[in-house]
Amino acid sequence: MVGFLETVILKSVKERGGPVFRLNSVGELEKLRAEISEKRDTGKPCITTCLGTGCHAYASYDVYDALAEEIDARGLKEKIELRGTGCHGFCEQGPIVVIFPSEICYCRVQPEDAADILAALMEDKVVDRLLYEDPVSGQKYEREDEIPFYKNQNRLILGQNRLIDPQNIEDYFAQGGYKALAKALTDMTPEDVLAEVKKANLRGRGGGGFPAGVKWETTRQAPEKEKYVVVNADEGDPGAYMDRSLLEGNPHLVLEGLILGAYAIGAAEGFVYVRQEYPLAVDNLSRAVEQAQGYGLLGDNILGSGFNFRVRIKRGAGAFVSGESSALVSAIEGQVGEPRPKHINTAISGLWGKPTNLNNVETWANVPFIIERGADWFNGIGNEGNKGTKIFSLVGKVNNTGLVEVPMGIPLRKIIEDIGGGIPQGKKFKAVQTGGPSGGCIPEQHLDTPVDFDRLQELGSMMGSGGMIVMDENNCMVDVAKYFMNFLKDESCGKCTSCREGTKRMYEILEAITKGEGRAGDIELLEELAWVTEKTSLCALGQTAANPVLSTLRYFREEYEAHINEKRCPAKVCKALIRYTIDPEKCDGCGRCQRNCPEEAISGELKSPLVIDTDRCSRCGICLEVCRRDAVVVE
């Protein structure tokens, strides 16, 4: 019998796109897949526009609309398909347009380029000015996979993003979607699925790196019959957006992984805890859940197998700490997202005291591949103890910023230099911050370290969820530590004295140091506070909160000492410790700096060297930027 809720859902799915019917068996799913493939004439060109958040910010929706109008105007609606996809990852070059099947990739496309793109497509030509040009070599690339940024990656999890309209389940079916689920439900017992994930050595991608299979088994074997599975999509690290792009760009992949997990563990209900600040992810995921329910891939008797599983979406209110497992459990239960003591793991006693298996978005997204292609195949990617790929969000002082997916164990240098294209403007690399706010900074001498869970930890940093912020010679490491400590002091839930007061005090000391008010003994005091915060806090946030201080102290202690003892900021960042002056030898008195100075701190006769009044100067650096003769000096 179809209940009222199901009727409403079916109705809304119909309204949101295409006919919907329940798939009652694996055979029916495969039949549908064959029909979709047949319907899609593979010779027909398809123009895809990235509608992910990065490109959206560059107005990719306008580009999409312009392309649609142009196709309409030329009467090509039947001959060319237009598709909005998820994030391609090369956000630096957005909005990105890729044409299939030729895979010609256009970067930084504007709405007015639509006519040229269509004209070129009809004549089998390429719009040269929109091709990616390597900033170093100047070489141009036509195909997306030839671009060095993509060429050096292994885009296993993110790869489908560029092919799929995330709001259309048919696109996911066409890419082989729900094949793994079909396989599991027909050929595998729950024990088999669990054994396969264990054998694949899949480690949690949320940061901890705990073996997912072992965690699943704990929940499966817990005596309580009612069990839950949860997708942790409370991604909160500054600069990190891997999970966001996955949920926005390929929500069914995550859902399929979750359903497989529920099958293996024996859960009948699942939750996705996703940040409200990710509106597109919430929207696409909600549609995906509705569509999956409509097709009978969620709900009762999935694909006629007798397996029942439902998913509910819980939206988070924007607390970083809610990503911690016990805090997330509290938040889903409707309480304040605050960590609880967990002498008993959430895997055994989680939601409402029931066994609950939590995994990160990316971890779940790995599962369909493992089930479909097998653990042996998965074990062929990565290095010893760290199998599969990992997505990083590569940001900061690097030429190619964006989402990067690489096999685990490749050297940091390869990510930064080959994929990231090195440091802009020929500046010198200084450090890379990995692991988000609780991670640490890794200096040049360790750049050849393989990137995996264990090696990063040895260096005093961590994998975290995959944030990677590159810093050059113009970054002050005390300032960097201060930035992260500011974030952590605001995001500590405030329960434990050590974390609440410890982060606040460490921030105060760091702030004083950057203001030139550092005193002898400050470094030792920081170390003491770091120790107590790390040792005595309840959850991982507090236990790792000192990492930004400890790792910068470990590798850049002399910068702290310069600030404290010599009142000098070697990177020339800390405003209280620097002074702008004009070199009279170089200054020709053109007056550009004078006109642009917001503080009116620059004086002198035009056509003769100008002078900066240090007392009025706010150290904004505009004069330095506008000077054409490099006459402004920072000391």
Q: Per CB under 8 A, does 208 bind another protein?
A: no
Near another protein by CB under 8 A: residue from 6, 146, 226, 501: 501
Locate the DSSP E strands across 18-176.
Answer: 46-50, 81-85, 97-100, 104-106, 132-133, 140-141
Residue 275 contacts another protein per CB under 8 A:
no
- 54 contacts 86 by C-beta, under 8 angstroms: no
Using the minimum distance from each CB to another protein, give the nearer residue, 323 or 420.
323
Contact region for another protein (CB under 8 A) — 135-143, 161-169, 492-500, 572-580? 492-500
Residues listed for the chain? 635
> Is residue 500 involved in binding another protein (CB under 8 A)?
yes
Check residue 529 for interaction with another protein (CB under 8 A).
yes
Minimum separation from the CB atom of position 498 to another protein (A)? 5
Work out whether 493 is an interface residue with another protein (CB under 8 A): yes
**Residue 291 binds to another protein (criterion: CB under 8 A):** no
Site for another protein contains 336 (CB under 8 A): yes
Q: Cβ contacts of residue 334 below 8 Å, gap of 6+?
A: none
Q: In the bound complex, what is the minimum distance in angstroms from residue 513's beta carbon to another protein?
A: 16
Distance CA 86, CA 50 (A): 6
Shortest Å, Cβ 351 to another protein: 19
Q: In what order do the strands lie in the sheet with 46-50?
A: 81-85, 46-50, 97-100, 104-106
Strands 46-50 and 81-85: parallel
Q: Is residue 463 at the binding interface for another protein, with CB under 8 A as the rule?
A: no
Applying CB under 8 A, among 74, 495, 515, 568 the residue interacting with another protein is 495
Cα dihedral 92/95/99/103 (nearest 10): 0
11 binds another protein (CB under 8 A): no
Q: Which is nearer to another protein, 301 or 497 (CB)?
A: 497
DSSP 286: H
Q: At what angle do helices 179-187 and 190-199 cross, to 10 degrees?
A: 120
Our CB check for another protein shows the closer of 225 and 343 to be 343
How far apart CA 245 and CA 87 sit, in angstroms, is 6
Nearer of residues 423 and 499 to another protein, judged by Cβ: 499
Stretch that binds another protein, among 156-164, 278-286, 535-543, 597-605 (CB under 8 A): 535-543
528 binds another protein (CB under 8 A): yes
Taking alpha carbons only, the member of 560, 482, 493, 468 closest to residue 520 is 560
Rounded-to-integer distance, Cα 607 and Cα 591, Å: 8
Q: Is 496 one of the binding residues for another protein (CB under 8 A)?
A: yes
323 binds another protein (CB under 8 A): no
The count of residues interacting with another protein (CB under 8 A) is 30
Considering only residues 253, 321, 375, 410, which one is a binding residue for another protein as defined by CB under 8 A?
Answer: 321
Number of helices (H) and strands (E) in the chain: give both, helices first: 25, 21
Q: Which residue blocks in 566-608 are alpha helix, DSSP H?
A: 592-596
Rule CB under 8 A: say whether 489 interacts with another protein.
yes
Among 61, 100, 210, 531, binds another protein (CB under 8 A): 531
Residue 499 or 627 having the CB closest to another protein: 499
Stretch of residues binding another protein (CB under 8 A), selected from 48-56, 264-272, 295-303, 525-533: 525-533
74, 504, 554, 567: residue in contact with another protein (rule CB under 8 A)? 504
CA 84-85-87 angle, 5° bins: 135
Instruction: Pick the closest to residue 416 from 407, 425, 435, 429 (CA basis).
Output: 429
DSSP codes of every residue in 67-101: HHHHHHHTT-TTT-EEEEE---S-GGGPSPEEEET
Q: Which stretch binds another protein (CB under 8 A): 36-44, 274-282, 366-374, 527-535?
A: 527-535
Write out the binding residues for another protein, residues 538-597 only, by CB under 8 A: 538
Minimum CB separation of residue 337 from another protein in Å reads: 9
Report d(CA 297, CA 282) in Å as an integer.
19
Rounded Cα distance, 24 and 592, in Å: 73
Position among 384, 490, 566, 630 found at the interface with another protein (CB under 8 A): 490
Can you tell me whether residue 468 is helix, strand or coil? strand
Q: Is residue 523 involved in binding another protein (CB under 8 A)?
A: no
Tokens 């103890």 locate to: 385
Amino acid at 122: M
357 binds another protein (CB under 8 A): no
Using the contact rule CB under 8 A, the part of the chain among 171-179, 196-204, 465-473, 498-506 near another protein is 498-506
Residue numbers at the binding site for another protein (CB under 8 A): 319, 321, 336, 341, 343, 489-498, 500-505, 525, 528-529, 531-532, 535-538
